[in-house]
Chain A
């Protein structure tokens, strides 16, 4: 049984990584057909950095991802602190609303926002308001639950006496928040922000519905590309993004490791800290 599990795990990981290996190999292929490896080359990478339109799309994607994850982190962290102090009934209601973009399929979120923007556009008598701002709004909307759901558990784990003590010792609520609460929940804030950033960088479905021709992100353009034969430099871009995301994940893991290490060194209040090990 144990061996069966191990073999199965190896097979599933192989299955998960085969297409990625295909793409990584394709980025070094001098031919255009992925199925036939002609000869080894770095020229796709060179091509990539000479392609201004592709670099502009990448810049658009990063711009939206940075702005939306920043906004979502600020709004979401504030919201989480607020929700944490709410009465149970109200809190349940707000968390249900927070769950909507998580439980709804992306296509429904995309369509609902697209319809909202179409509706507002009709009211304003403009042809189309789709573009940078609608894209930013949509991204912040689907980023927010990730931030809130990653900050809320940290607030739950925090000793409530800490905040009270700060208030007793003369902190204003804002000071207590900044000096006591925020440092405590920081790991949750950071991992929420990183999650929001990667979600937003890679989002295709929602962006596809709320974007206009004026401002296009990389995944949307890749979708448009794939209707025509794909350019091999896209594979080079994929490989670079793979490396970047690998780096983000390693950093995230190290942060978590440090966080749980720090917590282990401290007396436990509720015995929940151990589960993050």
Chain B
């Protein structure tokens, strides 16, 4: 019987000594394989899960409430804290939503740099996935190798924007900085390195690994109907055989000009999704190589010219009176986008990351809703885990690739 007191309250729905011989266990919120603050209440019959109840909210910081009380530019660094594995994707999704709202065209060089940063972040996130997923399943060495490459990628981000984890490397209307000297050479080297390691290290360690296959094959099978109904996006959707990638289907930025494929896995299981992630990394390096060549033909302009919304470049602010006045107004009051609403989907490494912004013409968003892919993938767990064995729970959570910064927001 539970003996509740002030520090351990009574859980009304939990009963540890039940008549029907099932056991309820608490997985998390401080479990190393829970990928953050996920609390799962599992009802077990022997080793089989009968009922799963994901409990979230342990990392809730009220990001959407904060957005209503911050000007549009102030809020941008907060988006870093959503999916902190690939922060530039969040910055970009938010900046794109605001740009769509005010109808802004971004200069070509900024587009090239943004697309590059997005793909670097995709690689960072996917490398992190391979590393932690393998670690959860028990392959420690893959974790070390993948983190080595991820570290080089974070060095690249550091060379570009100065930050390793919370980048804020995108601004509304463009990017703040141009590519530093020698960065492209380092990027090309990194692409080669990732390609080489993909083939010779991760693939060699995992692809035909007997234990890896036993732990992943036919585990966490999501049928295409379920994937659609539960709102799965990104690799979770393509892992169920539905080839929908927003980069290809509703292209934004430079993706319509780039040549890349959308890998699809039709086995619907964790192993298929793992192979999908590996294939996507190869596509990302392919995209990055094309972008390196596109960079040279661009004009040096980095921020869009829209004096009503975007501050002028620093040189103009320091030399021209009117630019300084505009800058002052934009910094002290914030931009005022037109009245209306917008929902912009982007393909983040985890899936469809979209921002819904409702503007009433004020410098503060009237309502901002962040559509986080992980939130819906967590919802899926309550059905996906039923019928599986307790040993597979960790594999399935790892395979959904959820990040709690964006689940709880």
Q: Do A and B bind each other?
A: no
Residues of A at under 8 Å CB distance from B? none
Residues of B at under 8 Å CB distance from A? none
